[in-house]
Structure 1
Amino acid sequence: MSGDMDQTSKVDTLREITGLESEDEAKRRLEYVEWDLQQAVEMFLAGREIPPIGASNLYPTLTSQPRGQVPSHPTDPRALTTSSSSPAFVPRGQPREQNAADPSQSSPLRILLRIVFFPFRAAVSLVSFLSNTITRLLGLGPLLVENESPRDANERFLSSFQSDYGDVHPRFYRGTYGEALRTADRQFKFLLVYLHSDRHPRTGPFCRQVLAEPAITRLVEESFVFWAGSIRSQEGAGAQHALGLSTFPFLAVVSPQRGREYGRVVAVCEGLVSSNDVRGFLAGVLDGHGMSLVAARLEQEERITNRRLIQEQNIEYQRSLEADRERERRKAEEDAKREKDEREAQLREEERQRLDRERRDRREQKRRKLQEPEPEKGDTVASIVLRLPNGSRVSRRFLSSAPLRDVFDWADVQGVEIALACLASNFPRRLFNYPEDADISIEDANLTPSATLLVEERSIPEVGPHGLSPAYPEA
């Protein structure tokens, strides 16, 4: 209803309804509520005064209490504001304006005015309710909210702000409100929110003078994540509702809180403010609530340190386990190798003993056979001299028709490993191997009437399953 009237009509209507004689006073009240006639009438009938332009600000000292709680003060709560209810910087939960000492609230004239204009108030409320309901049912949404993505809206606002007011201001966070809140949480900082109204008369001076203050820029960039948005965007409108905006300019200090999309409001600064006021507001927030951020940062660092220690301990434990496994593996391999070597050594020893027994038995049998008397010298008898590897010589007579097997048996009895050695004659040189040449007669071997045989190792010895045995063991 009030949006369809021009400003002059609203001033006249407010004066008629409230009985205000001063046109300036009526205009000042309408400016305070951004020319919302209904809200101006309700504020007057409720007895709420608005701050005069240029009034000084008194705000409570923010103490080190949990964010979102109202600091306790020994003084009367009315000391939070001036007598004229100038805009105050208050933690969330305290009223922005109050004038509990105004005796005119209960004056007969004001009571009479409430009764007289009750039908008008009811009509205004009904029209406002019906308008909002119809708009909502039609799905039109707030007419001033532009339908675009939060990121696009933020980029458009930052570009527009830069074009209107230049780049002398604290650095804005480029991203959505939620991203800014999460960034503040990661950096253990408060989120400073500025909600912008390009139609409010105080917006221009605030942006050009207060936000351009170098000291404020340094303070904000060092201690806060600074997010700004237009109330004409969907995200800005949501923040306006969640943060409880009532007038402009509007700053809110917000801390992240799980389960709250817009975080938890720590303190707000709104209304006609100077750069000194904003500096004091920000400093008060940091003094009163900064320790909670320090504690959160220390707690997070402790968690990170503990997590790193646990990871290092786990890594060291895994390394220790791996080292133990490696030692056990090597020990098992060494034990297995030792057992294998012992088994093989035992098998070799058993094989050696078996071969020794066989050799002894064989040689004993051959020795008994060779104990028969040698044949007498004659044309059919060959005299054989055997030169052993140790330099000694042995001789024996054999029948010329006897096979070389008898000579090999004789050499075997003398301790020659006939399977690994050969008997060699010099003139002419000839090699005799066992058992290949065992059946050749001594005469056919040209060892008659006499011959000297040398014991030599075979050039290509035969390899048995347990390796080579020495060709010339001790007899």
Structure 2
Amino acid sequence: MASAAIDLTSLSEEQQLALQQYTSVTDQELHSAVPLLQKCQWNAQIAITRFFDGDADVVDPVAEAARAPPPPPQAARRAETLMDGIPARSGGTRSRRDGHGLEEAPRVVPTPESQMTQSMPFPFSILLLPFNLTYTIFQRVLGAVGYVFPFLPRLLSRFYSGRASQPSRDSGRRPLNPRDTAARFMREFEEEYGVTHGTLPFHEGGYAQAFDIAKRDLKYLLVVLLSPEHDDTALFVRDTLLSPELVNFVKQPANNILLWAGTVQDAEAYQVASALNVTRYPYACLIIHTPSVSATAMSKIATSTGPVAAQELITKMQTAMRERSQELDRVRGQRQEHQASRSLRQEQETAYERSLAADREKARKRKEDEAMKEKTEREEREREEQKATAARNLAQWKRWRAQSIPSEPGTEVKDAVRISVRLPSGERVIRKFVPGAELEELYAFIECHHLLVDEAEASEKEAEKPQGYKHEYNFRLVSPMPREVYELEKGVRIGGRIGRSGNLIVEKLGSDEDEDEDEDEDEDSQ
């Protein structure tokens, strides 16, 4: 399930180191790694053990972390290299070995050149300028002598180094990052020994990266260190390292070998040689994860120094690999079970998310349907209320207008206009109007005819004009022969527009449904 992004800047330096160590071994996502490390009090060893055992929910990692001794302090500048695992040296060479007789293989990250060399203050550089010039001239002279007599450097190297030589590096060699250093080594190796690219599957990255990959994927890390200053290097490369038997052995996928090589002329290989206690070249060692030692231990299970036959080196590595195969198979099985359970949990969470999304979609549609239904019902109620209000206003207006319609003029009015009107119901109504009456009086008479049938009843009903109501007539008066429409116009008089008499027909302007509604409203008002 999605989670909020982890803010790495809020973690302390020790917590970031523990997180880096934990993720490099388990390859777990940050949003899952941080909660387990928090439960384990940021103890990476306990968290890794709980991760591979799969019992973080059963065993209390907090109590286990409280009982565990605190990790040894590390220098801030060398913290990332995990140099607490480098064998200690005092006088001679000593190796850190565990109870199983295995020598620990440390993870080494090369120190940046800017941290290894510090610039000298300007006043001291001025004072030491004559000595630097003398040293430079002397170095150039010796270089020229060595170029003319090439046997002298090798003779001096044997004289000083002897058999137990320490790793050395060319201080004049340009330092590069681990990936570029590996690319330069492979290019020089191919040019020196005349092989094509890919003859040996060298890892195209730094030692620390190869170390982490081997730990994560449970691969055998074969480390090869060469020193061009030793005469055995060329013989070892041609007869052993490039032999068809060893090349096929390294390339065979079933052996699961990751090959990393370097020359001690480079800073990274020089530091790796120092960390692995290399005393003789060429050097080769096989490193693998040893869970019997600890949950994160990487140990050397086979080493070879000096010239050695290809078959002898293969036999030594095969023997070591067979001794560790059962333990690695067990760890692989545990990881596969853990990965299967994690995949199952992810599938279950995904199915739950899909089901939850479907339920949310159904709820959303149901709410939309309910809202639409409610809106439709509300609009229908509003229309009904508007119709009812309009009907009440119309009935009240008719009652009010019927009271203001003057009575029919008597016989004493000689110029009265006689109008014969045929209503939509077929009934014919005849009435007289004074000539000066407006045409609207005729329209109002027809509109309120059903109220004027009984003038006594109409006069008894008193009504007020409805507020805010503007009446519109939904019919018009038409003369049949010849056809002429008498539209309602303000200020038009009946006598001037129709004459002394007229025969008119009422034509409805609305639909038949409106007519039926008007008739119902008229009946209700009666």
Q: TM-score, normalised by structure 1?
A: 0.56
- Residues in 2 aligned to 1:156 and 1:370: alpha-carbon distance in whole angstroms: 114
- Correspondence 1:359-438 to 2 at 5 A: 359-363=394-398, 375=410, 380-390=415-425, 392-401=426-435, 402-414=437-449, 419-427=473-481, 429-434=483-488, 436-437=489-490
CA RMSD of aligned residues (A): 4.5
Matched, 1:264 2:288: no
Show the counterpart of 1:226: 259
Tell me the SS of whatever aligns to 1:443: helix
Tell me if the contact between 1:191 and 1:225 (Cα under 8 Å) persists in the aligned partners.
yes
- Residue by residue over 1:4-42, the C-alpha shift from the partner in whole angstroms, topping out at 9 and shown as x without a partner, is xxxxxxxxxxxxxxxxxxxxxxxxxxxxxxxxxxxxxx9
> CA, structure 1 residues 394+301, in 2 after alignment: closer, same or farther (shift >3 Å)?
farther
Show the counterpart of 2:203: 173
- Residues in 2 aligned to 1:342 and 1:279: alpha-carbon distance in whole angstroms: 87
* Amino acid in the other structure paired with 1:171: P
Identity %: 23
Show the counterpart of 1:276: 311
Question: 1:186 offset after TM fit, Å?
Answer: 4.7
Tell me if the contact between 2:285 and 2:303 (Cα under 8 Å) persists in the aligned partners.
yes
Between stretches 277-286 and 334-343, larger displacement belongs to 334-343
Tell me if the contact between 1:418 and 1:471 (Cα under 8 Å) persists in the aligned partners.
no
> CA, structure 1 residues 423+281, in 2 after alignment: closer, same or farther (shift >3 Å)?
same
- Correspondence 1:225-374 to 2 at 5 A: 225-255=258-288, 263-270=298-305, 273-297=308-332, 317-363=352-398
> CA, structure 1 residues 446+320, in 2 after alignment: closer, same or farther (shift >3 Å)?
same
> CA, structure 1 residues 308+411, in 2 after alignment: closer, same or farther (shift >3 Å)?
farther
Tell me the SS of whatever aligns to 2:518: coil
Question: 1:198 offset after TM fit, Å?
Answer: 3.9
Give the gaps of 5 or more residues in structure 1.
Answer: 1-41, 43-66, 72-90, 94-141, 462-467
Give the gaps of 5 or more residues in structure 2.
Answer: 1-91, 105-165, 452-470
Tell me if the contact between 2:408 and 2:431 (Cα under 8 Å) persists in the aligned partners.
no
Show the counterpart of 1:209: 239
Matched, 1:473 2:508: no
Tell me if the contact between 2:167 and 2:278 (Cα under 8 Å) persists in the aligned partners.
no
Tell me the SS of whatever aligns to 1:444: helix
Tell me if the contact between 2:439 and 2:494 (Cα under 8 Å) persists in the aligned partners.
yes
Show the counterpart of 1:107: none
- Residue by residue over 1:274-305, the C-alpha shift from the partner in whole angstroms, topping out at 9 and shown as x without a partner, is 22222212222322223454555555555555
Show the counterpart of 2:223: 193
Between stretches 297-306 and 423-432, larger displacement belongs to 297-306
- Residues in 2 aligned to 1:457 and 1:415: alpha-carbon distance in whole angstroms: 19
* Amino acid in the other structure paired with 1:394: R
Question: 1:422 offset after TM fit, Å?
Answer: 1.5
* Amino acid in the other structure paired with 2:496: D
Tell me if the contact between 1:386 and 1:455 (Cα under 8 Å) persists in the aligned partners.
no
> CA, structure 1 residues 173+156, in 2 after alignment: closer, same or farther (shift >3 Å)?
same
Show the counterpart of 2:150: none
- Residues in 1 aligned to 2:272 and 2:211: alpha-carbon distance in whole angstroms: 12
Matched, 1:146 2:170: yes
Question: 1:193 offset after TM fit, Å?
Answer: 1.2
> CA, structure 1 residues 146+412, in 2 after alignment: closer, same or farther (shift >3 Å)?
same
> CA, structure 1 residues 343+294, in 2 after alignment: closer, same or farther (shift >3 Å)?
same
Matched, 1:457 2:497: no
- Residues in 1 aligned to 2:167 and 2:278: alpha-carbon distance in whole angstroms: 18
Tell me if the contact between 2:408 and 2:432 (Cα under 8 Å) persists in the aligned partners.
no
Tell me if the contact between 1:421 and 1:433 (Cα under 8 Å) persists in the aligned partners.
no
Tell me the SS of whatever aligns to 2:212: helix
Between stretches 421-430 and 359-368, larger displacement belongs to 359-368
Tell me if the contact between 2:218 and 2:288 (Cα under 8 Å) persists in the aligned partners.
no
> CA, structure 1 residues 201+146, in 2 after alignment: closer, same or farther (shift >3 Å)?
closer
- Residues in 2 aligned to 1:455 and 1:69: alpha-carbon distance in whole angstroms: 115
- Residues in 1 aligned to 2:382 and 2:185: alpha-carbon distance in whole angstroms: 93
Tell me the SS of whatever aligns to 1:244: coil
Between stretches 312-321 and 201-210, larger displacement belongs to 312-321
Q: Considering fraction of residues, name the structure with more helix.
A: 2
- Residues in 1 aligned to 2:316 and 2:99: alpha-carbon distance in whole angstroms: 16
Question: 1:455 offset after TM fit, Å?
Answer: 1.9
Tell me if the contact between 2:479 and 2:505 (Cα under 8 Å) persists in the aligned partners.
yes
Tell me if the contact between 1:252 and 1:269 (Cα under 8 Å) persists in the aligned partners.
yes
Question: 1:396 offset after TM fit, Å?
Answer: 1.3
Tell me if the contact between 1:252 and 1:266 (Cα under 8 Å) persists in the aligned partners.
yes
> CA, structure 1 residues 349+213, in 2 after alignment: closer, same or farther (shift >3 Å)?
same
Show the counterpart of 2:212: 182
- Residue by residue over 1:284-334, the C-alpha shift from the partner in whole angstroms, topping out at 9 and shown as x without a partner, is 232222345455555555555555555555555555555545444444444
- Residue by residue over 1:137-162, the C-alpha shift from the partner in whole angstroms, topping out at 9 and shown as x without a partner, is xxxxx793212426466555444443
Question: 1:469 offset after TM fit, Å?
Answer: 5.7
* Amino acid in the other structure paired with 1:189: K
> CA, structure 1 residues 192+365, in 2 after alignment: closer, same or farther (shift >3 Å)?
closer
* Amino acid in the other structure paired with 2:446: A
Larger C-alpha radius of gyration, 1 or 2?
1
- Residue by residue over 1:185-215, the C-alpha shift from the partner in whole angstroms, topping out at 9 and shown as x without a partner, is 4543111012224454544443222223322
> CA, structure 1 residues 294+431, in 2 after alignment: closer, same or farther (shift >3 Å)?
farther
Tell me the SS of whatever aligns to 1:235: helix
- Residues in 2 aligned to 1:155 and 1:441: alpha-carbon distance in whole angstroms: 110
Show the counterpart of 1:5: none
- Residues in 1 aligned to 2:99 and 2:515: alpha-carbon distance in whole angstroms: 102
Tell me if the contact between 2:508 and 2:515 (Cα under 8 Å) persists in the aligned partners.
no
Question: 1:425 offset after TM fit, Å?
Answer: 2.2
Question: 1:415 offset after TM fit, Å?
Answer: 7.1
- Residue by residue over 1:207-255, the C-alpha shift from the partner in whole angstroms, topping out at 9 and shown as x without a partner, is 2222233222122123211122234444334333332335454321113
- Residues in 2 aligned to 1:206 and 1:318: alpha-carbon distance in whole angstroms: 59
Q: TM-score, normalised by structure 2?
A: 0.51
Between stretches 215-224 and 300-309, larger displacement belongs to 300-309
Tell me if the contact between 2:424 and 2:507 (Cα under 8 Å) persists in the aligned partners.
yes
Question: 1:398 offset after TM fit, Å?
Answer: 0.9
Tell me the SS of whatever aligns to 2:494: coil
Residue of 469, 490, 496 corresponding to 1:444: 496
